[in-house]
Amino acid sequence: MSNTFTQLYIHFVFAVKYRKAVIEESWEDRLQKYITGVVQKNGHKLLAINNMPDHLHLFVGLNPKQSISDLMRLVKGDSSEFINKEGFTKRKFHWQDGYGAFSNSRTQIDGVVKYILNQKQHHAKKTFLEEYLEILQHYAVDYEEQYIFHDLLDD
């Protein structure tokens, strides 16, 4: 649409179902490349992607032609299908319901990119749940504990 100008930077965070640590280093690069393809195919700009065994961070320059919820539905659905088709996990893979989506200004891009790329060092000091609660508090997002990513389950 002519005369439409946007600058939308969104930091997404989503977890493996029950925060199971199943994303392995042996295939995380393929997962990240696959998700990058989904993001780009939908007209968005990928700024950073990184994961830990139990969750993933994605930083996107958002194209307003697609809603955040539609993008997340495609990223999570298509990547789950990819993981299962490739047989990367012993059991059927699922992402947890829901996600975090946090807007950032252009001046915050470098900081968010560095934060995402340094996930392994960051998580040497804190758990994903601690990190996620800190992000929610940092962005002043109201939340109810019962709706935070489900606890780990034993098999």
User: pLDDT tens across 70-103, in order?
Assistant: 999 999 999 999 999 999 999 999 999 999 999 9
Task: Identify whether 71 is part of a domain.
Answer: yes
What is the C-alpha to C-alpha distance for residues 122 and 146, in angstroms, rounded to an integer?
A: 25
What is the Cα 8 distance to its own chain's centre? Answer: 16
What percentage of the chain carries pLDDT values higher than 90?
71
Non-local (6+) Cβ contacts of 13 within 8 A are 55, 56, 57, 58, 99, 100, 102, 132, 135
Q: Please provide the DSSP assignment of 103-132 as one string.
A: EE-GGGHHHHHHHHHTHHHHTTTS-HHHHH
What's the length of the chain? 155
Average pLDDT of the chain is 92
Q: What is the pLDDT of residue 2?
A: 74
User: Which residue range(s) make up the domain with 110?
Assistant: 9-147
Single pTM value for the model: 0.89
CATH number, domain at 62?
A: 3.30.70.1290
State the total domains in the chain: 1
Phi-psi region of 98 (alpha: psi -120 to 50; beta: other; left: phi over 0): left
Task: Identify whether 152 is part of a domain.
Answer: no
